Amino acid sequence: MTTVTVWNEYRHERESDTVAEIYPDGIHVVIADALSEAGFETQTATLDEPAHGLTEAVLAETDVLTWWGHAAHDEVRDEIVERVQQRVLEGMGLIVLHSGHYSKLFKRLMGTTCSLKWREASESERLWVLEPSHPIAAGLDEYIELEDAEMYGERFDVPAPETLVFTSWFEGGEVFRSGCCYRRGNGRVFYFRPGHETYPIYHNEAIQQVLVNAVGWATPGDGPTPTFGNYEPRESIALSDDRTVH
């Protein structure tokens, strides 16, 4: 069974009454509940736990990690970022949510600034499904409509995604690549835009469906473990005299 670790910065919920009203136990609990209802084994981890809750042991048993952070990206220790990145390269799936676009982890995996335009004006957002046959779009309508959203606008400074599953349109006129699939090493990475802390986005059924689908998609496959380095020929071939074979 797929084991999911739901990571959350978990600061806004403890510092703002507005956010606490929407997510009394934290964003991570709402996401974890939706995922376990769908049949995944879930656990949570937060910034203020030792090692941010992401010990070697936790990561070793994690098939897919979800990441929500916003106000304290800088407090995530570099050695933990390195540890998570290594697990992604080994094959762990990663789902980066909303303001996680600016996390150390996502910026490192993308290699770009991951900057974007933003505006907080409770405007509506329509997320159009661009790839209906993609597993992340399973069970959805042609679009998801969110009444109140924070705007994220292009340009979003990320590498061109391997597959773009959603594009958002905002009431104010901007567009945004909202569902971006990548592979890094053996790991699958999905960036999903919705999820501002002052709107009840993660209570939305369609959004929960996307999260469930994304965990399924990002679950490691069981392909071969690649070997690297100097390699003996599979067939009998002539080696040049000056070549050293170790």
Min dist CB 220 to Zn ion, Å, is: 29
Q: Which of 5, 99, 204, 219 binds Zn ion (CB under 5 A)?
A: 99
Verify binding: residue 9, Zn ion, rule CB under 5 A.
Answer: no
CB nearer to Zn ion: pick between 40 and 199: 199
Nearer to Zn ion, 32 or 149 (CB): 149
Residue 46 near Zn ion by CB under 5 A: no
Nearest residue (CB) to Zn ion, 8 versus 99? 99
CB of 118 to Zn ion, least distance (A): 7
Give the nearest distance from C-beta 146 to Zn ion in angstroms: 13
Least Cβ distance, residue 77 to Zn ion (angstroms): 23
Footprint (CB under 5 A) of Zn ion, residues 147-176: 150
Cα-trace Rg, the chain: 20
Within residues 172-231, the interface with Zn ion by CB under 5 A covers 196
Does position 42 interact with Zn ion (CB under 5 A)? The reply is no
Q: Which residues bind Zn ion (CB under 5 A)?
A: 99, 150, 196
